[in-house]
């Protein structure tokens, strides 16, 4: 059994807006094992990106991480000094973002941007860093690496920029790679290339990957373990085969049924009625109750706990609780 | 056979590239490069392709929101690009457009009732006191409530805004709607609601759709015929079942296999295309796809393949269509 690399314990990140306090991450606990791909799925605003940002300690005001622990190698990242954190960020935990267009600095050459972490974290000289950078560019599947080293970001296509982002993230051999919607802005044929590349990285370097996505197709392809989030909470967690075979939470079931699947055309798509609740005015109940077809009286009164069932399957739903009336 | 609602013949749209101090035209981006198809009443045609392949430009040139470079677009027998401004304006209510981004396509300072009713007033189709009733009626058809009429766009979620966008198009009682990526900006659970709404409306009102999307699984749901575009050209067009069962063009095959399927037990044999989409300003010679095609041969580099009917209603442009 692989060890836990990162463990979130009761993490809470709140945003103080003029409309009220938004509990973007509300008592979230899960773990990422060494060498595993963990996918976090959910719709926009469910807190999946903020969870990743909290891990990197990159949440900026009006947001604030106010509770819980994030254990990395037994150490709580939330208590580290900024200097110690800087040693981990980009070195042991690296991140790639959704927008390859805006996450590279347009006024620096590609080479400089890949070399920077190598010089800072690995203490390489400029020359060593250049050699390693060119290797990295080749590793992520871009031809003419030496030429690309001296190019500027605007000279590259979206797919190539995302590859460069991956090269930067991999430069210091991280233990964990966080990928926040890495293929959302890309075309399907390019998405296939990037997902392929990430799978190769995982098998070659045994890097753990935390993949944030809203696309269940991507989840099915990449994940070992899946966490489903809704309105700031983890509502279901399971190994990937278990989740797709036997989804427990009505929201997960709905998501799976609502997605149009190629070659399985139905005359009518299943829809989850209503919409995601306003994050400011959440009460102490199941946040999905007003959209749920199995809603019971207890769902409106009390919040369901995240309990563990068979096959490492966790769900937060009264349907599976003995305490909940049928 | 009835006369088709829309006939597009050898349509081309080139955008000039200007350069040098004199801003002379130094080249052209061939956004739409010789496209031909027809659309019958009540049909839903899907246009798919990757970004920059010219699918949106095709939609806009058909509606004459952009002036064509060459070719003809006939709507119910009249060439839209030959009409005077006044004549075109009279035709406009029959052809409507639904936009991709429900956030930027609504004016934040105009309330929903005015935004939806605006076009009716402009075209003088309904008297003033009837307008509010018409707007309310359309709102409920589109799954919104009549009391939403005095609200402003910021009070709505993305899915609701897209419903407003659809209501704006629908109030003109159109026959033909071009929907440009109407669900791409929405979450999965909301996407399904909008797709169902669009297909209900089509049934009720016998609408004809040109549905532009990069997502084949969405198009499969709504459209009975699908065209695949690559770098400004149509590479394949076929009825839905035919295209999914027997794709003839290697690009269509790659596109179909690239879509992630939400089923972890299925390990599909994926055709991963190498490289990026070439620039439409300087497209490859011969078959435009030959730089990325896993089956490309010598002839593909030199000769442009003809766009031909290979099976009934199944058009494809490939030298070796169906041979692999």
Query: Please, are residues B254 and B263 in contact by the beta-carbon 8 Å criterion?
Result: no
The domains of chain A are located at 4-92+213-320
- A277 and B CB contact within 8 Å: no
- A192 and B CB contact within 8 Å: yes
pLDDT of A326 over the 50 cut:
no
Nearest CA in chain A to B200: A268
Interface with B, mutate which of A196, A199, A269, A274 (most B CBs under 10 A): A269
Query: Please, are residues B55 and B49 in contact by the beta-carbon 8 Å criterion?
Result: yes
Distance CA B110, CA B159 (A): 18
Provide, as residue numbers in chain B, all residues whose Cβ is less than 8 Å from the Cβ of A187.
50-51, 214, 277
- A217 and B CB contact within 8 Å: yes
- A31 and B CB contact within 8 Å: no
For the ranges A89-103, A246-260, B226-240, the lowest mean pLDDT is seen at: A89-103
The nearest CA of chain B is from the CA of A163 a distance in Å of 12
Provide, as residue numbers in chain A, all residues whose Cβ is less than 8 Å from the Cβ of B229.
none
Distances (CA, A) of A204 to A139, A170, A218, A289: 11, 12, 20, 44
pLDDT of A142 over the 70 cut:
yes
- A219 and B CB contact within 8 Å: yes
CB contact under 8 A, B264 and A159: no
From B192, B240, B274, residue closest to A270, measured CB to CB: B192
Distance CA A277, CA B157 (A): 11
- B254 and A CB contact within 8 Å: yes
Interface with A, mutate which of B44, B48, B56, B187 (most A CBs under 10 A): B187
pLDDT band at A1 (very low <50, low <70, confident <90, very high): low
Partner A, chain B 31-60, Cβ-Cβ below 8 Å: 50-51
**Residue A61 class from Cβ within 10 Å (0-12 exposed, 13-18 middle, 19+ buried)?**
exposed
Distance CA B27, CA B71 (A): 20
Distance CA A231, CA B253 (A): 38
Strands (E), chain A: 4-17, 20-33, 37-41, 63-72, 75-76, 93-96, 176-180, 208-213, 225-230, 233-239, 307-309, 313-315
Nearest CA in chain A to B265: A241
User: For A270-286, what is each residue's pLDDT tens digit?
Assistant: 888 877 787 787 888 88
Provide, as residue numbers in chain B, all residues whose Cβ is less than 8 Å from the Cβ of A219.
262
Count CB atoms within 10 A of the CB of residue B87: 11
Distance CA B21, CA B44 (A): 46
CB contact under 8 A, B50 and A217: no
Provide, as residue numbers in chain B, all residues whose Cβ is less than 8 Å from the Cβ of A43.
187-190
Dump the DSSP string for A42-85.
--TTSSHHHHHHHHHT---TTEEEEEEEEEETTEEGGGS-HHHH
- B154 and A CB contact within 8 Å: no
The nearest CA of chain A is from the CA of B258 a distance in Å of 6
Kindly give the pairing relationship between strand A75-76 and strand A63-72. antiparallel
Tokens of A249: 């939470």
Which of B238, B230, B306 has the alpha carbon at shortest distance from B45? B238
pLDDT of residue B280: 80
CATH top class, domain A4-92+213-320: alpha beta
Which of A26, A13, A15, A16 has the alpha carbon at shortest distance from A229? A26
Q: What phi, psi does A2 have (nearest 5°)?
A: -70, 150
Is the interface score ipTM higher than 0.90?
no
From A240, A271, A275, residue closest to B157, measured CB to CB: A275
Upstream peptide bond of A258 is cis (omega within 30 degrees of 0): no
Provide, as residue numbers in chain A, all residues whose Cβ is less than 8 Å from the Cβ of B254.
189
3-state secondary structure of A39: strand
CB contact under 8 A, B188 and A223: no
The nearest CA of chain A is from the CA of B199 a distance in Å of 9
**Residue A19 class from Cβ within 10 Å (0-12 exposed, 13-18 middle, 19+ buried)?**
exposed
Provide, as residue numbers in chain A, all residues whose Cβ is less than 8 Å from the Cβ of B240.
265
For B302, the enclosing helix (H) or strand (E) is helix B298-302
How many CA atoms, within 13 angstroms, populate the side-chain half-sphere of residue B283? Answer: 23
Distance CA B133, CA B140 (A): 11
CA angle A254, A259, A264 (to 5 degrees): 115
pLDDT of residue B267: 67
CB contact under 8 A, B192 and A269: yes
pLDDT of residue B228: 94
Which of A95, A96, A99, A110 has the alpha carbon at shortest distance from A154? A110
- B212 and A CB contact within 8 Å: no
Tokens of A91: 């070195």
In tens digits, what is the pLDDT along chain B, a chain of 324 residues? 567 899 999 999 998 888 777 788 888 888 898 999 999 998 999 999 888 788 889 999 999 999 999 999 999 889 999 999 999 998 899 999 998 877 788 888 999 988 898 888 888 888 888 888 999 988 888 888 888 888 888 888 778 888 898 999 888 889 999 999 888 877 887 888 888 888 888 988 889 999 998 888 888 888 999 999 999 899 999 999 999 889 999 999 988 888 888 887 776 677 788 877 788 888 888 899 999 888 888 898 888 998 988 888 899 999 888 776
Dump the DSSP string for A252-312.
HHHHHHHS--TT---SS-----S-PPPTTS--SS-TTGGG-TT--HHHHHSPPP-EEETTT
pLDDT of residue A325: 43
Distance CA A232, CA A289 (A): 15
Average pLDDT, chain A: 87
CB contact under 8 A, A187 and B217: no
**Residue A192 class from Cβ within 10 Å (0-12 exposed, 13-18 middle, 19+ buried)?**
buried
Distance CA A262, CA A247 (A): 20
- B1 and A CB contact within 8 Å: no
Sign of the four-CA dihedral A118, A123, A126, A132: negative
Interface with B, mutate which of A262, A266, A278 (most B CBs under 10 A): A262
pLDDT band at A324 (very low <50, low <70, confident <90, very high): very low
Q: Which residues contact A127 (CB under 8 A, 6 or more apart)?
A: none
Q: How far is CA A281 from the centre of its chain?
A: 25
Query: Please, are residues A146 and B265 in contact by the beta-carbon 8 Å criterion?
Result: no
Distance CA B319, CA B315 (A): 12
Distance CA A203, CA B313 (A): 45
How many CA atoms, within 13 angstroms, populate the side-chain half-sphere of residue A18? Answer: 0
pLDDT band at A294 (very low <50, low <70, confident <90, very high): confident
Provide, as residue numbers in chain B, all residues whose Cβ is less than 8 Å from the Cβ of A182.
none
Tokens of B202: 């089509």
CB contact under 8 A, A187 and B188: no
């Amino acid at each position: 059994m692989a060890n836990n690399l990162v463990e979130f314990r009761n993490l809470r990140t709140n945003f103080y807006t003029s409309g009220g306090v938004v509990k973007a991450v509300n008592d979230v606990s899960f773990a990422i094992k060494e060498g595993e791909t963990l996918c976090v799925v959910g719709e926009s605003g469910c807190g999946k990106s903020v969870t990743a940002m909290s891990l990197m300690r990159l949440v900026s005001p009006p947001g604030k991480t106010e509770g819980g622990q994030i254990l990395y190698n037994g150490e709580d990242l939330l208590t580290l000094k900024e200097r110690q954190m800087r040693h981990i960020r980009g070195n042991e935990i690296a991140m790639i973002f959704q927008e390859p267009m805006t996450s590279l600095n347009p006024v620096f050459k590609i080479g400089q941007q890949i070399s920077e972490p190598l010089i800072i974290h690995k203490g390489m000289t400029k020359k060593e860093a250049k050699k390693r950078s060119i290797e990295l560019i080749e590793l992520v599947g871009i031809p003419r690496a030496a030429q690309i080293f001296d190019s500027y970001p605007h000279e590259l296509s979206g797919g190539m920029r995302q590859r460069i982002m991956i090269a930067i993230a991999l430069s210091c051999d991280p233990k964990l790679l966080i990928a926040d919607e890495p293929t959302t802005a890309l075309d399907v044929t390019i998405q296939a290339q990037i997902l392929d590349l990430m799978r190769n990285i995982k098998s070659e370097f045994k890097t753990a990957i935390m993949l944030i996505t809203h696309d269940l197709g991507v989840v099915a392809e990449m994940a070992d373990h899946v966490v489903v989030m809704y309105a700031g909470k983890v509502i279901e967690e399971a190994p990937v085969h278990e989740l797709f075979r036997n989804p427990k939470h009505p929201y997960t079931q709905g998501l799976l049924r609502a997605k149009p699947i190629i070659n399985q055309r139905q005359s009518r798509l299943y829809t989850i009625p209503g919409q995601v609740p306003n994050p400011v005015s959440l009460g102490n109940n199941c946040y999905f109750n007003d959209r749920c077809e199995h809603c019971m009286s207890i769902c409106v009164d009390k919040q369901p706990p995240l309990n563990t069932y068979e096959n490492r399957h966790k769900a937060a739903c009264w349907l599976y609780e003995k305490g909940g009336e049928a | 056979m009835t006369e088709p609602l829309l006939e597009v013949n050898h349509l081309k749209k080139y955008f000039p590239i200007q350069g040098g101090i004199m801003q002379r035209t130094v080249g052209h981006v061939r956004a739409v490069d010789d496209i031909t198809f027809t659309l019958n009443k009540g049909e839903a045609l899907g246009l798919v392709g990757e970004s920059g392949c010219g699918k949106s430009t095709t939609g806009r040139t058909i509606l004459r929101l952009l002036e064509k470079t060459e070719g003809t677009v006939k709507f119910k027998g009249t060439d839209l690009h030959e009409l005077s401004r006044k004549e075109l304006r009279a035709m406009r209510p029959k052809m409507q457009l639904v936009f991709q981004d429900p956030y930027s396509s609504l004016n934040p300072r105009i309330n929903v009732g005015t935004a939806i009713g605006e076009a009716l007033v402009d075209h003088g189709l309904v008297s003033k006191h009837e307008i509010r009733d018409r707007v309310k009626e359309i709102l409920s058809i589109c799954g919104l409530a009549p009391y939403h009429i005095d609200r402003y766009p910021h009070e709505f979620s993305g899915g609701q805004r897209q419903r407003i966008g659809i209501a704006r198009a629908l109030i003109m009682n159109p026959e033909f709607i071009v929907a440009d990526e109407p669900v791409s900006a929405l979450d999965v659970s909301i996407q399904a609601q909008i797709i169902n709404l669009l297909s209900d409306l089509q049934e009720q009102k016998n609408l004809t759709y040109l549905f532009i999307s990069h997502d084949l699984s969405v198009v499969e749901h709504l459209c009975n015929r699908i065209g695949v575009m690559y770098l400004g050209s149509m590479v394949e067009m076929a009825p839905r079942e035919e295209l999914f069962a027997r794709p003839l063009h290697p690009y269509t095959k790659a596109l179909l296999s690239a879509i992630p399927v939400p089923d972890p037990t299925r390990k599909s044999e994926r055709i991963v295309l190498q490289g990026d989409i070439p620039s439409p300003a300087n497209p490859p010679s011969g078959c435009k796809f030959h730089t990325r095609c896993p089956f490309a041969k010598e002839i593909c580099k030199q000769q442009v393949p003809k766009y031909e009917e290979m099976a009934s209603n199944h058009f494809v442009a490939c030298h070796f269509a169906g041979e692999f």
